[in-house]
Amino acid sequence: MKDETRIVLEQFVEKAHKLREFKFDEHVKKIGLGFKGTGMDDESWIIDFGVPDTKEQDAFLLTFRMFIQNNESISFPNIHGLLRDKELSNEMHEGIKLARQAYFNYLNSRSEYTVNLFDGQPTRGQMLDTVLYGGLAHGNNAEKIQRFKLWSRDEIRANLLMQEFASMLLQILVFIKHIADLSEKELQANPPDKA
């Protein structure tokens, strides 16, 4: 395997392990992504939504973004560059192709859960992009900030958007773990030369 390939695979594995250490998936499972309504004596309702803790989510996102941003060698948009290394196993080549395709198919799909609550029936990719770069991670894109504010304009929409966002993070984490497992296997099968 080429040295550049080894570096990318090692970094992919390292960052995937870091994501596992955050145990964000366990945190989300613990809180649940549903809601609970409680009727009050005055016939009003209190609705509690299961959404991830902001600190937990923010810590996770700092590393997670490396897998989706266009400027990172380990990102899904760029990982296909490894396919130029003909020394990688067929299993690794196919695994990258399949995981990337599943990732992009997922981002291009629409959520059945929340799609009617947001104008224009956005794809999951548009929702991910809007929440990350219009609400959580960056504040330098006025259009995305405005869209995030529109989509989270009331408590119900805001909570449903964040639930869907957490659900998307968990699904993408499955794709990341798959490639990380394949990468570990590939690295073990091809130890570095001791020159």
Read off the tokens for 189: 């099968």
pLDDT at residue 9, as a whole number: 94
Q: If pLDDT is split at 50, 70 and 90, which confidence band does 28 have?
A: low
Domains contained in the chain, number: 1
Read off the tokens for 108: 């291009």
What does the pLDDT look like over 29-82, one tens digit per residue? 665 554 455 555 676 555 555 455 566 666 777 788 889 988 899 999 999 888
pLDDT at residue 27, as a whole number: 54
Domain that holds residue 107: 3-189
Q: If pLDDT is split at 50, 70 and 90, which confidence band does 99 have?
A: very high
Q: Comparing 125 with 112, which gets the higher pLDDT?
A: 125
Could you tell me if residue 144 is inside a domain?
yes
Could you tell me if residue 135 is inside a domain?
yes
pLDDT at residue 117, as a whole number: 67
Instruction: Round to whole Å and give the CA distance between 34 and 53.
Output: 14
pLDDT at residue 50, as a whole number: 47
Could you tell me if residue 14 is inside a domain?
yes
Could you tell me if residue 29 is inside a domain?
yes
Could you tell me if residue 194 is inside a domain?
no
**Secondary structure (DSSP) of 53-98:** -HHHHHHHHHHHGGGT-TT-TTSTTTGGGGGG-TTS-HHHHHHHHH
pTM attached to this predicted model = 0.79
Task: Compute φ and ψ for 48, nearest 5 degrees.
Answer: -105, 125
Q: How many helices (H) and strands (E) does the chain have?
A: 7, 2
Work out the mean pLDDT of the chain and round it to a whole number.
Answer: 81
